[in-house]
Each structure stands twice: as structure tokens, then as C-alpha cells.
Structure 1
Amino acid sequence: MSIALTIFLLVFIGELIQWIGQSVLLELAYVLYLRLFHSGSAKRQRALKTEILTAKAELMQTSAQDQFAAWAKLRRRVDKGLADLEKLNGELGSARASFSMKFNVFIWIVTTGLQFAVGWWYSKTAIFYLPSGWLGPATWWLSLPFAPAGSVSCGVWQMACRRVIKVGERVVKDFAAPSMAAPTEEKKPEKAKTQ
């Protein structure tokens, strides 16, 4: 794969992640992570919540004075369920914090880290050469920082790709905005024409 296409794809992936939102991707990935690696804990958490709600409903219907033994038994069951749920929530919260940190590092590597590494590795490489005299004296700027004179450097190519993708995103949003707003608008009744 050519370096120009590689850089374009890295910039595109970075902008796509930024456009979707890192927090949205984190939530989706965490749900998948829970289902794959902590499915038993998640099922146990749901079962505990259901059990606690059922026991609380029974406790509310039981008179503490008239049926003290049944009420005390239900109360102990609710308290034990809440303690187990709190412990399980702590474990899942710890797993979520760990996953969140690893996911954020992965996203940084995929977006910023790879772009930086590729830009540094190919900093002296010309992405492509421009025809001589095409941009006049401004041609030297396109080869900054270390590419040969008369060429487009990796850093400039990354900036150009990012700008083109941002303009494309704006165009897509402009075209999508009217079509998304149209169904929510109500038609206003036409005024009767006077003759």
C-alpha cells in the first residue's frame, strides 16, 4: 500500500473516531467486553437486582408488627442482596475503569500515535513531486520539514488529508441536516386565498 493511501486512511480513521465520539465507542466496546469476558457477572447482577426488587415488594406488603418473623427474614434477605450487589457493582466498576483506561490508550495509539509514528518515520520521504514552477516560491513550504525540495512532505499531506475529510464531513452534514429536519416539521395549514 502506498504511503499516501496509508496516511489518508490513518487520518480518516482518526477523524471518524472523533466524529462518532470516543465516549460512544467506549460504551459500545464495553457492552461487547461485558458479554465476552464478564457475562456471568452481568447476569448475576441482573438476577440480584430482580431478586432484591421482589424481596422489597414483599417486605413492603408485610407488617413489621403483625408478622415480625417473616418481616425480619425478608429484611435480612434484602440486606444480604444489597451487600452482594454492592460487592458485584464494585467488581464490575473496577473492570470498567480498567477497560476504559486500556480502550483510551488503544484509541490514542490508533489515531494520534500511529499518525505521529508514520509522520516521523517518513519525514524525509516525498509523498509525490509537484511540477517545477507550479506554485512558484511557495513550493518550499510543501516540503517542510525534511522532504526534498519540490515535493509534498508527509506532514503537509496529513494536514491536506485532514482538511479534505473535514470539508467532506461538513458537506455530508449539510446534506443530511435538511433531510433529517424534514420529517419533524409539521405542515402549516394554508391560508384561504381572498379574491
Structure 2
Amino acid sequence: MSILLTIFLLVFVGQLVTWIGKTVLLDITYAGYLRITRSPLATRQRALKSEILASKAELMKTSAQDQFAKWAKMRRSVDKGLADLEKLNSEISSAKSGFAMKFNTLLWLFTTGLQFVVGWWYRKQAVFYLPQGWFGPLGWWLSLPFAPAGSVSVGVWQMACKRVILVGERVLKDLMGKHCAPTENRPDDDGLHVCQVHPPPQRTRQRELPPRVQPQRHSTRHRREKRSRRRLRVFVHLFI
């Protein structure tokens, strides 16, 4: 395998670990480790969980008023099982913390540490050569620190690969966001974006109200004016 492809795969694996999350990888690896090694703690935990679930199911079927003695005995058994399970979980957590330290060390060695080793081992070797005159006087920068002039060094190629992967991630997120419209792009606990679909708003039909009858506010005033005009006509008719 060429050094160009090797460095790209190493950088891609490192970014893949970042995307998935070390906590998720630790949980998956530890669960597989317990199943492969057949740990007595895990076996006891599964048996205790099954026993507690069976006791709870039987407790729900027992009446506390009619069979109080049996109900109290089963209740004490369930409480004791829960206490034992909590103690067992603390032991498993302490064992998992030691496993997590070893797992994180190995993960760092096979991702970041391996990139450092490859970069140091091939520090004087060119990944590939550029056509002459492409970058002018700036071409020497691409060969830093120890690669031949006119070539691309391992360190520069690592940075370029990481930059391209990050840009590709951003473009992919933008495309997913466009396809999810008009949904909402919501991240989860692990950093992954989940499209949440919202139903279209329902239109509420407004009830048509009957036209309001405006009160005749000026009815009294209108009658007074009409009466005054009538008196005026009578007065004019009598004296003129």
C-alpha cells in the first residue's frame, strides 16, 4: 500500500472515532469483552436482574390487603435484590474504569500515535511531486520539514487529508439539512443530527359571526331636530 493511501486511511480512522465518540466505542467494546471472557460479574448481574423482574411481577399480582404477610416478604426480597444489584453495579463500574483507561490508551496508540510514528518514519520521503512552477516560490512550504524540494511532505499531506475530510463532513451535513427541510435538524446525545418532522399546522376555521346591529345612538337627537323643524314650518306658515 502506498504511503499516500496509508496516511489518508489513518487520518480517516481518527476522524471516524471522533464522529462515533469514544464513549460509544467503549460501551460496545466492554459489552463484547464481558461476553467473550464470560465475566462472573456480568453473569451474576444478568441473573440478578431476571430474579428481580420475576419478583416484581409476582409482587404486582399479590394483594397487600388480603395477603399482607406474603406481600411484605416479597417486598423485602425485592428491596434486597435491588440493593445487591446496586452494589454489583458499583463493582462493575470500578472494573470498567480500569478497562476504559487501557482502551483509551490503545485507541490513542492506534490512531494519533500511529500517525506520529508514520510521520516521523517517512519524514524525509516525498508523498508525491508537484509539477514544476505550480506554486512558484511557495512550493518550498509544501515540502516542510525534511521532504525534497518540489514535493509534498507527510506532515502537509496529513493536514490536507484532515482538512478535506472536515470539508466533506460539512458538505454532507448541509445536504442532509436541505433534504430534511421543512423538518428540524436536531442533534442527539452523541453529536449525530436527527431530522425531526413536524406536522403541518392545522387551520382552524373561524366561525362567521352575524353582523352586529349598530345601536341607534343618535335616535333621540334626530327626533328633537325633526320636532324643531316641524315647529319652524308651523311658525312660518302662521306669520308669513
The residue type equivalent to 1:47 in the other structure is A
Which residue does the alignment assign to 2:41?
A: 41
| 1:186 corresponds to which of 192, 199, 206 | 199
Gap change, CA 1:61 and 1:55, over 3 Å in 2: farther
- Once residues 116 and 99 of structure 2 are traced to their aligned partners in structure 1, the CA distance between those partners, rounded to angstroms, is 24
Give the TM-score, by structure 1 length. 0.79
Per the alignment, residue 154 of structure 1 pairs with 154
> How far apart in 2 are the matches of 1:47 and 1:144?
60
CA distance in 2, matches of 1:62, 1:54: 18
Q: What is the letter of the counterpart of residue 185 of structure 1?
A: H
Q: Which residue of 1 aligns with 2:94?
A: 94
Q: Which runs of 5+ in 2 are unaligned?
A: 184-196, 204-240
Aligned to 1:18: 18
> What's the C-alpha RMSD, in Å, of the aligned pairs?
3.0
Sequence identity, in percent? 59
**Which residue type is aligned with residue 108 of structure 2?**
W
Greater share of residues in helix: 1
Letter in 2 for 1:168: G
Change (3 A) 1:8 1:189: same
Q: Which amino acid in 2 is paired with 1:108?
A: W
Output one character per residue of 1:3-39: Cα deviation in whole Å (capped at 9) or x when no partner: 0100000001111111122122222222222322246
- The unaligned stretches of length 5 or more in structure 1 are 191-195
Residues 56-110 of structure 1 deviation map (CA, whole Å, 9 limit, x = unaligned): 77499668xx74x9957974x4565456434432332232112211211122112
Q: Which residue of 2 aligns with 1:133?
A: 133
More moved, 142-151 vs 23-32: 23-32
Q: Paired residue for 2:111? A: 111
Shift in alpha-carbon separation, 1:50–1:154, aligned structure 2, 3 A: same
What is the aligned length?
Answer: 186
Larger Rg: 2
TM-score of the aligned structures, taking structure 2 as reference length: 0.65
Letter aligned with residue 143 of structure 1: S
Please give the secondary structure, in 1, of the residue aligned with 2:146. Answer: coil
2:19 is aligned with 1:9: no
